[in-house]
Structure 1
Amino acid sequence: MNIRRQLSRFAEQEDINFLLTNRIPRFALTRFMGWFSKIERPLVRDVSIGVWRLFADLDLSDAKKREFRSLHDCFVRELQDGARPIDMRPEILASPCDAIVGACGLIEGSEVLQIKGSPYDIGELLHDPELVEAHRDGCYATLRLTSSMYHRFHAPHDCRIERLTYFSGDVWNVNPIALRRVEKLFCKNERAVIRGKLAATGHSITLAPVAAVLVASMRFDFLDMTLSAAHEGPNVFACNASLTKGQQMGWFEHGSTIIAFAPMGFSLCAGVETGARIRVGVPLMRLPD
């Protein structure tokens, strides 16, 4: 435990952290990690998970299984049934993932914060004027998944997915240190834009999963497809998928970020604030009265 604490303190030093996680051959290391993490050899698996535990507070107590085939198998683990109760109240938009809440609040016109003091326009992230108008003066929440968290994400409400657009881009780290130093980082990284509407009310809901260093691929169940840097973008995938609240939508190959956007009239639920830790299924936003 003492060794892990010392390593964490070393890695948390801002200049060192930024250097180690960004001033590196990001694409090459991301491709290597994608290959290495899937090696199904007990020694490689055990050493990899052991090193991971040195740097992260990895808790596998709620995992569906105890034995993993590979490091990747552990990253994308499923949870035991009932491990994430879903708030089924119709007026509640539930969190789609386990996360630390980053910037959140009301959208000022079409402007949101990447981190305090660092704004960006959602048009540069979404590249969809219709979606920008749908969320003008609405509500947003940036949800950051750390490496040790549960990496699957779920439908925040009963909804219909109309379209997914996948954008190719960079793979900057998405931790707060990088967010302070790289302007409009989310708009530069590889990402998906999931366009949906609530089944009961027709409100537009948009989720934007953003890739990061060591994680440039995402699985989407409603497309039955894994998208990665190999899909030069933008790639547009038409959908007509009906999902129920809490239904699995897909997963990251490692920790990253999901930015949730809702229209004007939505509001953040109590306890959703910068730095808060939340889980799949807890109240994220409240629908208009």
Structure 2
Amino acid sequence: MSIQYFLPQRLSSWCIRKLTRIRTVWFKNLFIRVFSKLYAINWAESKYRSPDDFKTFNEFFTRQLESGARPVAESPLVSPADGKIAACGQLENTRFVKAKGHDFTVESLIADPELAKDFSDGSFATVYLSPADYHRVHMPVKGKLLRTIHVPGKLYSVSLKTAAQIPTLFAENERYVCVFETEYGKMILILVGAINVSSIATVWGGDVTPPYGRVIDYQIYDRDIELDKGAEMGRFNMGSTAIVLLEKNDSVVLNDLLKEGTAIKMGETLYKFCNLETESL
């Protein structure tokens, strides 16, 4: 049995939230320097390159990159974040198959059985962000926000090791489901909470407030919120996971070079066109 079942998830996350927002200069600078050395942070790609440029450790953790640090590929859909592929593949009806940490259905993941039907036999890709990664999340493709679903839940670690130990991990953790209309059909981008992820934020709403108790929060957006491919859509205040779901589409397919454990950067090819003739257009 995983130790994750016994950790004080909420208390630990609350403490990390407080710790990462301390403004005492000597403390936050030391925190940043130690973390940077421990995780070999690449300061050369950061827009701001000194601990003194950040008011808190969290500002450093969610730091903005230098312009051009993440070129956006011309492929139809690109990775929403830096990290490693935890799993990717085709859905069998609405069930995730042959993927560690994905022993569940789309219905249980997004808490909407009717919407889940639209993704029958579609595809998915899960990107795990380690503490060392860039922690802003971007749009895989241009899309218009239709609705969001905030599902309360656990705060298990989302490391690849934990995902292998808890098959229903992502359907148990707190998650923020964002539904977009795109030129390739409906796309869902899910920000998954985890232990010590002190909050999730979006560009249209700021910090996402957890639903009260076990109540699922459904929101429909009737105002135009449209984000371009590669545009920032949110960020994790500490590390976590982003999941992309795409309706079945005959014109695009998952990048066949992506396997479990493959490192990927935001903006790199996640989906490609189904044939070279189409891809060259």
2:64 is the alignment partner of 1:78? yes
2:73 is the alignment partner of 1:87? yes
Q: Distance in 2 between matches of 1:139 and 1:217?
A: 27
Cα deviations by residue, 1:69-104 (Å, 9 ceiling, x for unpaired): 221111110000011111234xx1111111200111
2:258 to 272, 275, 283: 272
Q: Distance in 1 between matches of 2:35 and 2:241?
A: 19
2:199 is the alignment partner of 1:206? no
1:161 Cα deviation from its structure 2 partner: 0.7
1:113 Cα deviation from its structure 2 partner: 4.4
Give the corresponding residue for 2:218. Answer: 236
1:45 Cα deviation from its structure 2 partner: 1.1
User: 1:247-262 counterparts in 2 under 5 A?
Assistant: 247-262=231-246
Give the corresponding residue for 2:14. Answer: 31
Give the corresponding residue for 1:120. Answer: 104
Give the corresponding residue for 1:57. Answer: 40
Cα deviations by residue, 1:109-138 (Å, 9 ceiling, x for unpaired): 111148448621111011112321111111
5+ long unaligned stretches in structure 2 = none
Give the corresponding residue for 2:135. Answer: 151
Alignment TM-score, normalising by the size of structure 1: 0.85
* Matched residue SS, 1:195: strand
Give the corresponding residue for 2:199. Answer: 217
* Bigger Cα displacement from structure 2, 165-174 vs 114-123: 114-123
* Bigger Cα displacement from structure 2, 103-112 vs 54-63: 54-63
Q: What do you get for the CA RMSD once the two structures are aligned? A: 2.2
Q: Distance in 2 between matches of 1:151 and 1:282?
A: 15
Alignment TM-score, normalising by the size of structure 2: 0.87
User: 1:119-198 counterparts in 2 under 5 A?
Assistant: 119-198=103-182
Cα deviations by residue, 1:183-206 (Å, 9 ceiling, x for unpaired): 3111111101111111x35x0101
Quick check: 1:205–1:261 contact (8 Å CA) kept in 2?
yes
Q: Distance in 1 between matches of 2:258 and 2:209?
A: 31
Q: Distance in 2 between matches of 1:264 and 1:230?
A: 31
Give the corresponding residue for 2:54. Answer: 68
Q: Distance in 1 between matches of 2:181 and 2:101?
A: 31
Count residues in correspondence: 267
1:226 to 204, 207, 212: 207
5+ long unaligned stretches in structure 1 = 1-14
Quick check: 1:102–1:144 contact (8 Å CA) kept in 2?
yes
* Matched residue SS, 1:69: coil
Change (3 A) 1:228 1:22: farther
Quick check: 2:101–2:166 contact (8 Å CA) kept in 1?
no
